[in-house]
Amino acid sequence: MTQVPLRPAVAALPAYVPGGRSPVGAAAFKLSSNENPFPPLPSVVAAIIDGAMDVNRYPDMYATELTEAIASRWGVPAASLVVGNGSIAVLGHVLAAVVDAGDEVVYPWRSFDAYPIAVAVAGGIGVPVPVTDDGRLDLVAMAAAVTPRTRVVLVCTPNNPTGPAVHADELSDFLAAVPRDVLVVLDEAYVEFVRDPLAADALAVFAGQPNVVVLRTFSKAYGLAGLRVGFAIARPRLASGIRATSTPFGVSHVAQLAAIASLRAADELLARVDAIVAERGRMLAGLRGQGWSVPDSQANFVWLPLGDRAVSFATAATEAGVIVRPFAGDGVRVSVGETEATDVLLEFAATFRH
């Protein structure tokens, strides 16, 4: 039977694997998707309820009020902002705006699972560059991987799933080595959790580098993972091109209102981030105290480089009451959640190690 062929790049796409969920009827802490463990604030819930009354109407296609709120919060021009259905969707629009078929996109690996998918969908050729043994991006090797065919370099900081943040000096050296016509995307999905004093200031870098785009999201620190709101910060000309490739009405009215309400309640939400950072410190200290080798995490998760034991660790963890995210052959990512979840995780990890 004759069939409609898929594009070869699409047929070869790796499947994106979401974090595992609790089996029906089972009780386990979900530490597999880097979710914020706190429920929405009452003020955000009220905005969601208000927005539900208008779902018969199309949302503001350009998210005008939200864009202005983001511009005010981070001190960037509204013309430099593109809001989309989560930062990964915005990344797809960025790639669609600048990548032609056969162009190369350099990215770290292991890093965000969606990178090779987004690159292939855009028609690009992915060039993965291994991270270092301690989970850091090897920016020297990434710069060396740039060729005349390279259009984009993706810099995930803090890196998902390993955790370390890129330092200011290494990013400065990297940008000096990359041609100005190559777009550098700084993916900062976890920036609010960073406490490393040496970490790069992406907004300052953006102000001085015309070939830099910054990606951020409301999914993690702001706890809106279920509503999908992300944004890009780019030079107005680039932003206009990214906006042109975006899905019309890509951010729902409810999501826009929830994000605006979250910005108004930023102090309350960032206090929650401080609590998550403190719990991250407790998890890291507990694991290291048991003898585990754990990279420095500046995100809301920690990484255990377990290699071939990753899947068996995750399977046993689920049975013990915590669902974690295995990356077969590489390691396990554990999200920072409730204090009780950390207790269960540490108890299990001690048992598994011995």
Domain coordinates in residue numbering, the chain: 8-30+267-353, 42-264
Place of tokens 């790049």: 9
Nearest to 170 by CA among 191, 146, 200: 200
CA angle 351, 322, 338 (to 5 degrees): 110
Neighbours of 39 (CB within 10 A): 9
Residue with tokens 């830099």: 212
Long-range contacts of 63-69 (CB under 8 A, 24+ apart): 63/251, 63/256, 65/256, 65/260, 66/229, 66/251, 66/256, 66/259, 66/260, 67/231, 69/259, 69/260, 69/263, 69/264
**For the domain bounded by 42-264, which CATH number is listed?**
3.40.640.10
On the CB side of 104, CA atoms within 13 Å amount to 14
Quick check: do 8-30+267-353 and 42-264 share a fold?
no
Q: Is the separation of the CB atoms in 233 and 76 below 8 Å?
A: yes
Q: pLDDT 10s per residue in the chain (354 long)?
A: 688 888 888 888 887 777 776 664 456 899 999 999 999 999 999 999 999 999 999 999 999 999 999 999 999 999 999 999 999 999 999 999 999 999 999 999 999 999 999 999 999 999 999 999 999 999 999 999 999 999 999 999 999 999 999 999 999 999 999 999 999 999 999 999 999 999 999 999 999 999 999 999 999 999 999 999 999 999 999 999 999 999 999 999 999 999 999 999 999 999 999 999 999 999 999 999 999 999 999 999 999 999 999 999 999 999 999 999 999 999 999 999 999 999 999 999 999 987
Which of the listed CATH numbers 3.90.1150.10, 3.40.50.2000, 3.40.50.740, 3.20.20.150 matches domain 8-30+267-353? Answer: 3.90.1150.10
Instruction: Report the distance separating Cα 352 and Cα 130, nearest Å.
Output: 28
The candidate with the shortest Cα–Cα distance to 239, out of 282, 196, 210, is 210
pTM, rounded to two decimals: 0.94
